[in-house]
Structure 1
C-alpha cells in the first residue's frame, strides 16, 4: 500500500520544531485571510510572532512555507481517510467508511480554505496547484488504488485500472455536500446527511467493480 505523506519536517530539536510549527500556524492564518499572492513574509512573521530573520532561517521563500503548510495538513488529515482499511469489514462497509471520511475531509474548514486558495492562484502560480495535488488528492488516490488492486487480486473486486477507479470514487465523493460547501451554499452536512451520500456512492461503485457483477466493459482504445 502506498505510504501516506512522510513527516513534513526534518528531525529538529524540540525548540526548533516548536518554532517551525509556530511559523506554519501563523502562515495558515495569513493565507486564509489574504490568499497566497496577498500574503507577505512580513505579515507572516508578525502573525507568527517571530522576526523576518528567524522566518527566513526556517523557510527561504513563501512557496516553501506554503508547501510546508500543505504537507503538514496532509500529514494530519489523510490518515483519517483510511481508518477502515485493515479492519475486518466487507468491501461495502470499507467503501462507505472511506466515502464518509472523504466527504468530511473535503468539507472541513481547512480543506475548503486550501481549495479556495489553490483554485484562485492556480493560473498565476501553477506550482501551488501541483503541490496541493501531489501531497493531498494524488497521495490519497494512490493509497486507495493499492487497496483496490489488493481486493482485485483476492477476487473480491474486479478493477482493471485501480488508479482510474480511485479517481472516479474521489469524484463521486464531491457530490452534493462538497460541491455546495465549496460555493458557500447552504447544505445539510450532519453525520446522517453524509451517510446518505456515502451509501449510494458505494452502491454505484460496486455495481461497476464488484467481481460478482462480471468484468467491466473495456474502455475503447484511444484515438491516435
Structure 2
C-alpha cells in the first residue's frame, strides 16, 4: 500500500456507491463487508466501485464521515435548543452516547486510531465531521443558554468537551477495552442522567 492516501474521486454514481456501502457496513461491519457485497448493494460493477474508492478503508471512512454528519444534523433537527438545559443536555448526551457505543461507532473509532500514524488525515476528517461539529454546536447552545440566564459558563468550548467526557464515563472505556460487549438503554440513561446532574451542579445558573 502506498504511503499517501489515494484521493477519493466524485462522480455521477458516488452517492449510489456510498448508500450501498453504508447498508453493508452497518450490517456486516468493516471486516465482514466484502467489495463484492458492496458493489452488489450499490448496483455498480467492482470496476466502478474501485474507480471511486481504490481502498475499502477509504470507503468506510467516507461512510463514517457522512454518517457522523447525518447524526449531528439529526440531533440538531430534533432537539429543542430553547428547552430547559436539563432536557437539552439529556437528549444531546443520549444521542451522542448511543452513536459512539454502537457497533458502527466503535469500528469508526478503532479504525481512526489504528490508521492514525500512517494516515493522519483520516482521523482529522472524522474529527471534523463528528466530534468537532458536536463541540461547535454545543458551544453555540451554551452561549445562547448563558445569554438567557439558564447557565453560567465562561469557556463554552471547554464546557462542551467536559460534557462529552462526562457522557463517556464508565461505559466507553470498558467497551473499548473489551470488558463489556454491549450497552443497554438503561446503561446509557444511567450515565447520561448522572452526567447532566454533574454538569449542572458546576454550570447551572
Tell me the TM-score normalised to structure 1 length: 0.72
Q: Which has the larger radius of gyration?
A: 1
1:185 counterpart SS class: coil
**Given that residues 148 and 157 in structure 1 are in contact (C-alpha distance below 8 angstroms), is that contact kept between their aligned partners in structure 2?**
yes
Matched, 1:131 2:91: no
Conserved 8 A contact 2:10-2:52: no
Would you say the 8 A contact 1:151–1:157 is kept in 2? yes
User: Does the 8 Å contact 1:26/1:48 carry over to 2?
Assistant: no
Pick aligned residue for 1:177 from 157, 171, 174:
171
Partner of 1:173: helix, strand, or coil? helix
Partner of 1:200: 194
Gaps of 5+ in 2: 1-8
Task: State how 1:45-194 maps to structure 2 within 5 Å.
Answer: 47-49=38-40, 50-59=44-53, 65-82=59-76, 85-86=79-80, 89-186=83-180, 189-194=183-188
CA RMSD of aligned residues (A): 3.1
Name the SS for the 1:124 alignment partner.
coil
User: Deviation at 1:46?
Assistant: 6.5
Q: 1:87/1:19 Cα in 2 relative to 1: closer, same or farther (>3 Å)?
A: same
Structure-1 separation of matches of 2:90 and 2:26 = 31
Greater fraction of residues in helix? 2
Secondary structure of the equivalent of 2:168?
A: coil
Shift of 1:10: 7.6
Judged with a 3 Å threshold, the aligned counterparts in structure 2 of structure 1 residues 63 and 83 are, in CA distance, closer, same or farther, namely same
Structure 1 residue 85: deviation in Å?
Answer: 2.8
Q: TM-score, normalised by structure 2?
A: 0.78
Aligned residues of 1:103 and 1:177 also touching (Cα < 8 A): no
Shift of 1:170: 0.8
- Segments of structure 1 that go 5 or more residues without pairing to the other structure are 1-8, 212-224
- Alignment match, 2:35: 44
25 and 149 in structure 1: CA distance in 2 versus 1, 3 angstrom threshold? same
Cα displacement (A) at 1:95: 1.1
What is the correspondence of 1:9-28 to structure 2 with a 5 Å cutoff?
17-23=15-21, 25=23
Q: CA deviation at 1:195?
A: 1.6
Moved over 4 A (4+): 9-12, 23-31, 60-64
Q: Is 1:33 the equivalent of 2:31?
A: yes
Q: Equivalents in 2 of 1:142, 1:87: separation in Å?
A: 14
